[in-house]
Amino acid sequence: MAGLNVHLGGLDLAVIALYALGIIALGLYVSKRRASAEDYFLASRSMTWPVIGLALLASNISSTTLIGLAGAAYGNGISVYNYEWMATVVLDFFCVFFLPFLLRSQVYTLPEYLERRYDRRSRVYFSALTIFLNIVVDTAGTLYGGAIMLKLILPQWPLWEIVAVLALSAGIYTVAGGLRAVIYTETVQAVILLGASVFIAYFSFDKAGGWNAVMAAVDPSKLSLIRPIDDPGVPWLGLVLGVPLLGFYFWCTNQFMVQRVLSAKDENHGRWGALFAGLLKLPVLYVMVLPGTAAILLYPQLDKPDLVYPTLIFDLLPAGLIGVVIAGFFAAIMSSIASTFNSAATLVTMDFVKPRVPGASNATLVRAGRITTIVFMVLAVAWAPQIERFESLWQYLQAVLAYAVPPVCALFLIGLFWRGANAQGAFASIVAGLFGGAALFYSNVMAPEPLGLHFLYVAPILFVLSAVVLIAVSAATAPPSMAQVGALLWTPAFYRDETRQLAGLPWWQNYRVLSVLLLVLTAVIVWTFR
């Protein structure tokens, strides 16, 4: 923004430097405990619920989230928060129906789970897709978001150099320590991130005249979560049909998120950690989204919504706090980048290297993971500057996912509840989803006269197409045996057995009770801002 005073004093620089050095040192210190492939990729399956919950939050809230949420709220209102509270609902679903089968299967990757449910073709496809999305969506988007901020501080630096420094900073301890180093640094980063967001929210509302002043002055339509069907941000039909699908992919099947749950010491810790993450997503409305609406009053003439977050930081915060908040911003960047690097390395190593070299030693697998991390660092740095071509960072992230992930959602959801889904149906569904997504992308984006279909409608269309093909082809061919897939199916009998196991637990340890309480709290917030 023209006229924005971007200045870092000595105290701010000291805080940022202390944070950067401290987090890298912590990651390298933790890396000394690495001993095996299981430790490198899954932290020896030893993580407890507070660490898992904070790591999930830190992995999810990246620079793209901080910049994208505030910018979207500034441009279209708080409807962007629908992605956040829906994450809580999806995590509830994940805990009840999906998590126990993942942990009991002892898989390293989500594609490995698909191979057990269907065949190797599904595993290879999903692994390749996840790696692609990790690089061009998750990592590149995070690097670009971080570069937007640093470009204000270092305007003389080329964008690609800033991106390279960010990637290298997170890659150092990721290469050295694997998932254990990533998770422990994420725990610290989550605390810093939340604290920094509280500071921004406080000063934003204070400068705008307080909560009541913002609520009274901002257009009521921008303070509503439930929007008309033609809303450009999150139309209500897209909220019902599209947002849950994108959320299911991200929280239930995305390797770099689910890998934290796979590291849990047992099912209870996995479930409590996921629910804790769901709880931490709810305050995002107050500390990350609503400050973007306060900015409507403070800066009505911003050229680009993506500038809202850095403008709030540099224009409102006093010396010292600017350093704390930027350190929190870097915490978000580094935690997310480290997560995607580690997950992509896990996918390559466990889905491609290990099957082809079945006798590979732990040292060989770890070395493959390290080399992969370095290669992906280079690729992400090369791609990140291309995101400038898109209208906004948030639009880029969500639109790419809408065309890419619906077929995968169909494989997981139908395969979890219907025994009849088989390998032939899964492969046909993948092919149909690929060609359908390509055709829809061309007609909706690339054609001389594009359809103009909202991406939240694209996702359910492709999901239905993939699901119909999966069901039809599976029904026309032989079903898999119960011996093959029985341990991967949710059934009423499983629910009854689990009910008996939970009967002896106090209510605060019963994940079902906690799930219901979390849903009630979510419903209250959504109803309040409906």
Q: At 295, list the tokens.
A: 């900015």
Query: Would you kindly state where each structural domain of the chain is located, as residue ranges?
Result: 10-28+38-398, 405-490
What's the pLDDT at 228? 93
pTM, two decimals, is 0.85
For residue range 92-118, list pLDDT tens digits in order: 999 999 999 888 888 888 999 999 999
Burial of 420 (0-12, 13-18, 19+ CB in 10 A): middle
What's the pLDDT at 75? 87
Q: How confident is the model at residue 393 (pLDDT cuts 50, 70, 90)?
A: low
pLDDT at 370 over 70: yes
CA distance 160 to 375: 16
What's the pLDDT at 446? 80
CA distance 89 to 98: 13
CB-CB contact of 62 with 332 (8 Å): yes
Q: At 116, list the tokens.
A: 């057990």
Q: At 380, list the tokens.
A: 């992400």
DSSP, residue by residue, 161-174: HHHHHHHHHHHHHH
What's the pLDDT at 22? 80
Higher pLDDT, 358 or 51: 51
What's the pLDDT at 47? 84
Burial of 500 (0-12, 13-18, 19+ CB in 10 A): exposed
pLDDT at 432 over 80: yes
Q: How confident is the model at residue 2 (pLDDT cuts 50, 70, 90)?
A: very low
pLDDT at 391 over 60: no
**Number of helices (H), then strands (E), in the chain:** 28, 0
In eight-state DSSP terms, residue 264 is B
CA distance 491 to 286: 39
CA distance 345 to 368: 8
- Angle among Cα 370, 62, 434 to the nearest 5 degrees reads 75
For residue range 155-196, list pLDDT tens digits in order: 778 777 778 887 777 666 565 556 666 677 777 777 887 888
In this structure, of 188-202, 236-250, 461-475, 502-516, the range with the lowest mean pLDDT score is: 188-202
What's the pLDDT at 1? 43
For residue range 121-146, list pLDDT tens digits in order: 999 999 999 888 887 777 877 787 77
CB-CB contact of 180 with 390 (8 Å): no
Q: How confident is the model at residue 37 (pLDDT cuts 50, 70, 90)?
A: low
* Coil/strand/helix, residue 227: strand
- 10-28+38-398 has CATH 1.20.1730.10 classification: yes
pLDDT at 435 over 50: yes
Closest CA to 179 of 451, 366, 317, 428: 366
Phi-psi region of 480 (alpha: psi -120 to 50; beta: other; left: phi over 0): beta
pLDDT at 78 over 80: yes
Higher pLDDT, 164 or 422: 422
Average pLDDT over residues 334-363: 82
CA distance 504 to 510: 9
Average pLDDT, the chain: 85
DSSP, residue by residue, 78-97: GGGGHHHHHHHHHHHHIIII
143: Cβ contacts below 8 Å, ≥ 6 apart: 63, 163, 166, 167, 333, 337, 380, 381, 384
CB-CB contact of 42 with 182 (8 Å): no
What's the pLDDT at 175? 59
Higher pLDDT, 376 or 517: 517
CB-CB contact of 172 with 382 (8 Å): no
The continuous run of DSSP H or E covering 145 comes out as helix 140-153
